[in-house]
């Protein structure tokens, strides 16, 4: 049987690697840059995007960062123009732009709306200024609330709020307060991330130097259980490890990643996965800009996984989804059943109560959810 | 060549007293090597030797020297200085007529100085006292000479003073070697009688035998006969070390060199054996050596059970060049199939383990080392136990005996108190104190070997700020109140973690041990209970909390590759562990029995 890993990619990711300030926990590809660099970058991005024109039919677009909303109004318009020229608007069902409170203005919001953006992901993290300060955010809890209201007033009907838990001196009460505030605002989607100490960040440095210490794992687990209970009770569907949505408002773009389907990435450091081959653009902004200018290859990384590894990766990514992975879909894609490759592991994990079958879908149990990484190691 | 023009000698010294550096100078001075070929510690062949700054294997080199218009052949045989390798020292001494007894001008007489000097005297060798490193500002050569006289009872009137650094005194050494060390006796026309004082295995040439010829000659084409192993071989090449091997037509009485004879296995060669001609044999073999006695044992297991055969091959390869290391297959419930290995001491064990990992590509798990015990059973049978697992049930034991050593410490007088405390804490029995001078003392204790093989040496060094030295000799077995201390992981006894302890220390040891294991074993999905037990009595308990939360919060398109690699790495780490039941135990945990400090 012919091995068919992927349909043609139908998701486009555009990376804006600029921020007003680097957050203490962030290890993403983002920098604080002057207007001139941003202009150069946007021109290069425009070239990269225009080369995509006509090649793919995108159903989802996601402009992330960094902070896309840090762009000036003129720059933002330039970006939105470049994107709209390489996609077929009528096919795009979900068009998300990430924004941070403190960088959104009424004019920027109007521009986003005008160019067809229909989903905003707002990096709130917390509504409490103490937490925000710890994380190194530039905005207040009040800014977040006000921005959310502005977006609603501008007519955005699909808004995500990013929240974060597990900061060293955050209490369970603090976290519950954040959740209550978020639910009062009634967004369609909430991403709730446990604070992660990434290599090379200020927080990790402070952790290693003993300036801060990690929150007790049991409290962190309580916080995680709390968000699941609270949001589920308030009408949100817990559909991925850290993501919650009102019915029908799951993020289609991110589902592409979790189902390990194809996608195209544009911009510095952006990753593409096309027909089983994964490539990454040059991370460094200047090298990216120069590379595009000189018509050179801007890929800095590429891998084409053997079939069994690609299948293993697919299982691992799909297990992030609460509904798990469909054996029928897997079979259609890879030509054999999940058990053919992972029979022993599956039996063992089912025995340990960490995964289970829900009809023909293999998924994490609640017990397995809390230690998902440990479970996933078995599928490597 | 007449034996009149040959001198065979060793340099013996305490570790770090400048033996290898002096050897380097002697090589340079005699133009044995060009400066282009020169590197420090020429005679230390293994990388490991040079890295650790210690000599492990003896090696030999031929030097040519003109003195009073006559050409002499000097054979210098290097010796190891560490207490673990005193066996190798005695091998080298058997091939010599004299020694340079080297003593550091600032450090003075130390434990291995004494031990090695006595060895040389036992062999009836000419001893030339040499004070080294006299260029150092803190040197005190005359005090050191007094110490030598006092401890060794040797005449130091003709002692030489050298500095290998400045070259001062090197010429006098040559003079002394020629005039004060007697030429070898022996008859080149008698039947061949030669001593194997070392051997190495070469992948291409087979076993290279290090020979000292006492009588007769040996040449290419000769049929030689090994008197102990009853094997005969045809000589393919003989030669001398300069220090690289240089072929010669023959070796004759008094000479030191090598012999290659298509010997495939090191087992066909016994160090200490006498080599003679197959047809015309010498009447009496040489006395040879007492075989080395392994003092320390540990289990070595492949992490992956399928590596059992490759591990056996790797151990065999290692033992080709190290006859003092022994191994025998054994089985552990916890670790599967592996080997019980015997070593001369802890340093020897570390070296073998390091070479094993370097030279083969096998992940190994090593159990904590132990000594050999002797047990008198109720039925009067006496058994030797080199593995705690082999200790019979308590009701079958009449007497549990442990190996004892006589330990001599040589140290600055101000540290006598701390060392006494240390020795008492290790169940030592005080024997005597003797003062070498106002400032230095020899302290004698009888100690259980088990108490000194672990971290005793390091403890002694740090308690004396590095000035104390230690040498010990096995003196016999002695009854003691010993118990087997078992470790249970989630209720299952792990044989590879059992140790033997003195009853009075067992409780504390057990408590410390489970605490250490708690830190070594990572958290599992379930609670892991660690217990220490003597028989059925649990003496300590710790629990390892299960993992509560382990989940990557964010994973989007750009993170997939990184995330997969992270999981792969975790999986790889797991491979290097041993599963006991369903608990993964890292290699390090098996060694945590070693040091019982916090």
A183: domain CATH number is 3.80.30.20
The answer to whether the CB of A187 falls within 8 A of the CB of A234 is no
What does DSSP assign to residue B396?
A: G
Q: Does B567 touch chain A (CB under 8 A)?
A: yes
Query: Is A271 within the bounds of a domain?
Result: no
Residues A245 and A315 in one domain: no
* Predicted confidence (pLDDT) at residue B45 exceeds the cutoff of 80: no
Between chains, do A371 and B549 touch, taking CB under 8 Å as contact?
yes
* Predicted confidence (pLDDT) at residue B294 exceeds the cutoff of 50: yes
pLDDT averaged over every residue in chain B: 86
Residues A23 and A170 in one domain: yes
Confidence at A185, pLDDT banded by 50, 70, 90: very high
Closest partner residue to A241 (CB to CB) among B548, B551, B571 is: B551
**CA angle, corner A128, sides to A125 and A133, nearest 5?**
75
* pLDDT-wise least confident of A30-44, A150-164, A259-273: A30-44
Contacts of B563 in chain A (CB under 8 A): 316
Question: What percentage of chain B's residues is helix, strand, coil (to nearest 5)?
Answer: 30, 35, 35
Gyration radius (Cα) of chain A, Å: 21
Q: What is the mean pLDDT of residues B378-393?
A: 92
Q: In chain A, how many domains are there?
A: 2
In Å, how far is A370's CA from the nearest CA of chain B? 5
Confidence at B89, pLDDT banded by 50, 70, 90: confident
Residues A39 and A176 in one domain: yes
The pLDDT assigned to B56 comes to 44
The pLDDT assigned to A179 comes to 98
Query: Is A246 within the bounds of a domain?
Result: yes
Residues A175 and A324 in one domain: no
What does DSSP assign to residue B391?
A: P
Please identify, among A228, A258, A288, the residue that sits at the C-terminal boundary of a domain.
A258
Residues A359 and A252 in one domain: no
Structure token pair of residue B334: 């916890």
Residues A17 and A163 in one domain: yes
- Residue of chain B whose alpha carbon sits nearest to that of A303: B561
Query: Is A297 within the bounds of a domain?
Result: no
* Predicted confidence (pLDDT) at residue B522 exceeds the cutoff of 50: yes
Structure token pair of residue B246: 């240089």
| Residue that wins the pLDDT comparison between B58 and B173 | B173
> Choosing among B526, B545, B549, which should be mutated to test the A contact, i.e. which has the most A CBs within 10 A?
B549
* Predicted confidence (pLDDT) at residue B136 exceeds the cutoff of 80: yes
Query: Is A287 within the bounds of a domain?
Result: no
Q: What percent of chain A has pLDDT over 90?
A: 85
Q: Output the 3-class SS for B2-48.
A: CHHHEEEEEEEECCCCCHHHHHHHHHHHCCCCCCCCCCCCCCCCCHH
Confidence at A3, pLDDT banded by 50, 70, 90: very low
Residues A96 and A191 in one domain: yes
Q: Note the helical H segments in B209-339.
A: 308-320
CB atoms within 10 A of CB B546: 12
Rounded to the nearest angstrom, the gap between the alpha carbon of residue A292 and the centroid of all alpha carbons in its chain is 26
Q: Does B550 touch chain A (CB under 8 A)?
A: yes
Query: Is A275 within the bounds of a domain?
Result: no
What does DSSP assign to residue B390?
A: G
Closest CA to A217 of A165, A164, A162, A163: A165
Residues A198 and A112 in one domain: yes
* Predicted confidence (pLDDT) at residue B110 exceeds the cutoff of 60: yes
Please identify, among A231, A258, A285, the residue that sits at the C-terminal boundary of a domain.
A258
Residues A233 and A331 in one domain: no
**CA angle, corner B514, sides to B508 and B515, nearest 5?**
85
Between chains, do A369 and B567 touch, taking CB under 8 Å as contact?
no
SS3 B355: helix
Residues A238 and A177 in one domain: yes
Q: Does B556 touch chain A (CB under 8 A)?
A: yes
The pLDDT assigned to B347 comes to 78
Residues A29 and A141 in one domain: yes
- Residue of chain A whose alpha carbon sits nearest to that of B571: A377
Confidence at B397, pLDDT banded by 50, 70, 90: very high
Q: What is the mean pLDDT of residues A302-321?
A: 93
Q: With the CA atoms of A323, A327, A329 and A331 taken in that order, what torsion angle do they form, in degrees rounded to the nearest 10?
A: 160
* Predicted confidence (pLDDT) at residue B87 exceeds the cutoff of 70: no
Q: What is the mean pLDDT of residues A260-289?
A: 94
Q: What is the mean pLDDT of residues A50-55?
A: 90
What does DSSP assign to residue A321?
A: B
Residues A188 and A312 in one domain: no
pLDDT of B431-480, one tens digit each? 999 888 888 899 999 999 998 887 788 788 888 887 888 888 889 999 99
> Omega of the bond prior to A66 within 30 degrees of 0, cis?
yes
Q: Does B551 touch chain A (CB under 8 A)?
A: yes
Q: How many Cα atoms within 13 Å fall on the side-chain side of residue A282?
A: 16
* Predicted confidence (pLDDT) at residue B55 exceeds the cutoff of 60: no
| Residue that wins the pLDDT comparison between B208 and A98 | A98
- For residue B8, the cross-strand partners are B75
Query: Is A301 within the bounds of a domain?
Result: no
Residue with tokens 């077995």: B477
CATH number at residue A369: 1.10.10.920
* Predicted confidence (pLDDT) at residue A98 exceeds the cutoff of 80: yes
The pLDDT assigned to B53 comes to 47
Structure token pair of residue B589: 């945990």
Closest partner residue to B553 (CB to CB) among A196, A256, A273 is: A196
The pLDDT assigned to A57 comes to 93
* Predicted confidence (pLDDT) at residue B39 exceeds the cutoff of 60: no
Residue with tokens 């954040």: A178
Q: What percent of chain B has pLDDT over 90?
A: 42
* Predicted confidence (pLDDT) at residue B224 exceeds the cutoff of 90: yes
- Residue of chain B whose alpha carbon sits nearest to that of A312: B564
Q: With the CA atoms of A129, A130, A132 and A136 taken in that order, what torsion angle do they form, in degrees rounded to the nearest 10?
A: 130
Q: What is the mean pLDDT of residues A96-107?
A: 94
CB atoms within 10 A of CB B204: 4
Structure token pair of residue A215: 């929150």
Between chains, do A254 and B556 touch, taking CB under 8 Å as contact?
yes
Q: With the CA atoms of A229, A230, A235 and A238 taken in that order, what torsion angle do they form, in degrees rounded to the nearest 10?
A: -50
pLDDT of A203-246, one tens digit each? 999 999 999 999 999 999 999 999 999 999 999 999 999 999 99
Query: Is A28 within the bounds of a domain?
Result: yes
**B172-201: buried (b, 16+ CB within 10 Å) or exposed (e) per residue?**
ebbebbbeebebbebebeeebbbbbbbbbb
Q: What is the mean pLDDT of residues B287-305?
A: 82
Q: What is the ipTM of this complex?
A: 0.92
Confidence at B43, pLDDT banded by 50, 70, 90: low
Closest partner residue to A352 (CB to CB) among B525, B564, B571 is: B525
Confidence at B140, pLDDT banded by 50, 70, 90: very high
Dihedral sign (CA B534, B537, B539, B540): positive
Range of the domain at A329: 307-379
Please identify, among A191, A223, A258, the residue that sits at the C-terminal boundary of a domain.
A258
* Predicted confidence (pLDDT) at residue B40 exceeds the cutoff of 80: no
Query: Is A196 within the bounds of a domain?
Result: yes
Between chains, do A257 and B547 touch, taking CB under 8 Å as contact?
no
Total residue count of chain B as it appears in this document: 598
* pLDDT-wise least confident of A77-86, A114-123, A261-270, B284-293: B284-293
């Amino acid at each position: 049987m012919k091995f068919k890993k992927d349909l043609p990619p139908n998701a486009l990711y555009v990376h804006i690697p600029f921020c007003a300030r680097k957050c203490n926990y962030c290890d993403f590809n983002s920098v604080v840059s002057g207007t001139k660099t941003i202009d150069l970058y946007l021109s290069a991005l425009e070239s990269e995007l225009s080369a995509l024109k006509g090649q793919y039919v995108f159903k989802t677009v996601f402009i992330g960062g960094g902070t896309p909303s840090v762009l000036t109004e003129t720059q933002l318009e330039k970006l939105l123009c470049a994107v709209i020229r390489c996609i077929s608007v009528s096919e795009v069902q979900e068009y998300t732009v990430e924004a941070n409170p403190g960088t959104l203005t009424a004019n920027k919001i109007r521009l986003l709306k005008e160019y067809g953006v229909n989903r905003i992901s707002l990096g709130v993290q917390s509504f409490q200024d103490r937490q925000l300060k710890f994380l190194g955010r530039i905005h207040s809890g009040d800014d977040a609330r006000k921005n959310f209201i502005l977006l609603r007033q501008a007519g955005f009907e699909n808004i995500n709020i990013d929240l974060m838990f597990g900061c060293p001196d955050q209490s369970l009460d603090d976290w519950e307060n954040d959740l209550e505030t978020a639910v009062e605002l009634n967004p369609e989607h909430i991403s709730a991330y446990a604070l992660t100490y990434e290599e090379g960040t200020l927080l990790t440095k402070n952790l290693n130097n003993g300036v801060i210490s990690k929150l007790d794992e049991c409290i962190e687990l309580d916080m995680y259980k709390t968000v699941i209970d609270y949001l589920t009770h308030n009408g949100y569907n817990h559909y991925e490890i850290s993501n919650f949505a009102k019915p029908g408002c799951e993020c289609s773009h991110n589902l592409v990643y979790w189902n390990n389907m194809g996608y195209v990435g544009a911009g510095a450091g952006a990753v593409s996965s096309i027909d089983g081959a994964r490539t990454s653009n040059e991370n460094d902004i200047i090298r990216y800009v120069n590379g595009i200018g000189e018509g050179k290859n801007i890929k800095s990384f590429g891998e084409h996984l053997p079939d069994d590894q690609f299948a293993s990766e697919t299982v691992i990514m799909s297990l992030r989804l609460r509904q798990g992975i469909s054996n029928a879909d897997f079979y259609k894609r890879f030509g054999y059943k999940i058990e053919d490759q992972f029979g022993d592991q599956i039996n063992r994990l089912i025995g340990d109560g960490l995964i289970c079958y829900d009809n023909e879908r293999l998924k994490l149990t609640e017990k397995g959810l809390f230690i998902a990484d440990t479970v996933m190691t078995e599928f490597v | 060549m007449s034996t009149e023009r040959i001198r065979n000698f060793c340099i013996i010294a305490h570790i770090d007293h400048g033996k290898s550096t002096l050897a380097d100078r002697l090589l340079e001075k005699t133009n044995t090597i060009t400066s282009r070929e020169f590197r420090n510690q020429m005679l230390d062949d293994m990388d490991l030797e040079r890295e650790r700054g210690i000599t492990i294997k003896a090696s030999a080199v031929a030097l040519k020297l003109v003195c009073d218009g006559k050409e002499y052949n000097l054979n210098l045989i290097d010796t190891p200085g560490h207490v673990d390798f005193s066996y190798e020292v005695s091998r080298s001494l058997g091939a010599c007529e004299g020694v340079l007894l080297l003593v550091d001008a600032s450090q003075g007489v130390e434990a291995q100085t004494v031990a090695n000097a006595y060895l040389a005297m036992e062999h009836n060798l000419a001893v030339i006292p040499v004070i080294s490193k006299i260029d150092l500002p803190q040197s005190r050569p005359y005090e050191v000479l007094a110490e030598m006289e006092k401890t060794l009872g040797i005449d130091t009137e003709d002692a030489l003073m050298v500095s290998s650094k400045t070259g001062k005194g090197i010429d006098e050494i040559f003079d002394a070697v020629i005039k004060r060390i007697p030429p070898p006796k022996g008859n080149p026309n008698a039947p061949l009688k030669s001593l194997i004082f070392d051997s190495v295995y070469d992948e291409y040439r087979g076993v290279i035998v290090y020979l000292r010829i006492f009588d007769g000659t040996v040449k290419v084409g000769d049929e030689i006969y090994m008197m102990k192993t009853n094997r005969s071989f045809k000589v393919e090449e003989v030669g001398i070390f300069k220090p690289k091997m240089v072929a010669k037509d023959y070796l004759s009485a008094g000479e030191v060199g090598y012999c290659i004879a298509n010997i495939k296995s090191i087992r066909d060669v016994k160090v200490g054996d006498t080599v003679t001609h197959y047809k015309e044999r010498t009447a009496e073999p040489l006395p040879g050596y007492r075989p080395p006695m392994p003092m320390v044992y540990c289990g070595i297991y492949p992490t992956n059970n399928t590596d059992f055969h490759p591990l056996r091959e790797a151990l065999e390869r290692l033992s080709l060049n190290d006859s003092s290391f022994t191994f025998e297959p054994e089985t552990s419930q916890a670790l599967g199939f592996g080997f019980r290995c015997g070593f001369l001491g802890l340093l020897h064990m570390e070296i073998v383990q390091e070479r094993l990992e370097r030279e083969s590509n096998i992940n190994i798990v090593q159990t904590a080392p132990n000594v050999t015990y002797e047990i008198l059973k109720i039925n009067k049978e006496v058994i030797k136990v080199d593995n705690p697992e082999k200790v019979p049930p308590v009701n079958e034991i009449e007497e549990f005996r442990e190996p004892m050593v006589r330990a001599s410490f040589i140290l600055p007088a101000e540290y006598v108190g701390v060392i006494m405390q240390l020795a008492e804490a290790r169940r030592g029995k005080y024997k005597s104190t003797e003062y070498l001078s106002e400032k230095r003392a020899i302290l004698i204790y009888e100690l259980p070997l088990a108490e000194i093989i672990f971290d005793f040496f390091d403890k002694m060094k740090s308690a004396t700020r590095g000035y104390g030295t230690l040498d010990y000799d096995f003196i016999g077995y002695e009854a003691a109140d010993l118990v087997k201390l078992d470790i249970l992981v989630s209720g299952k006894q792990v044989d590879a973690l059992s140790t033997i302890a003195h009853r009075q220390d067992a409780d504390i040891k057990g408590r410390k041990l489970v605490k250490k294991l708690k830190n070594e074993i990572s958290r599992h999905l379930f609670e892991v209970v660690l217990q220490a037990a003597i028989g059925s009595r649990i003496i300590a308990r710790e629990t390892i909390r299960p993992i509560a939360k382990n989940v990557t919060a964010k994973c989007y398109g750009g993170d997939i590759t990184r995330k997969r690699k992270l999981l792969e790495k975790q999986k790889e780490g797991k491979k290097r562990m041993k599963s006991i039941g369903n608990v993964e135990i890292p290699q390090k945990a098996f060694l945590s029995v070693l040091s019982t400090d916090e």
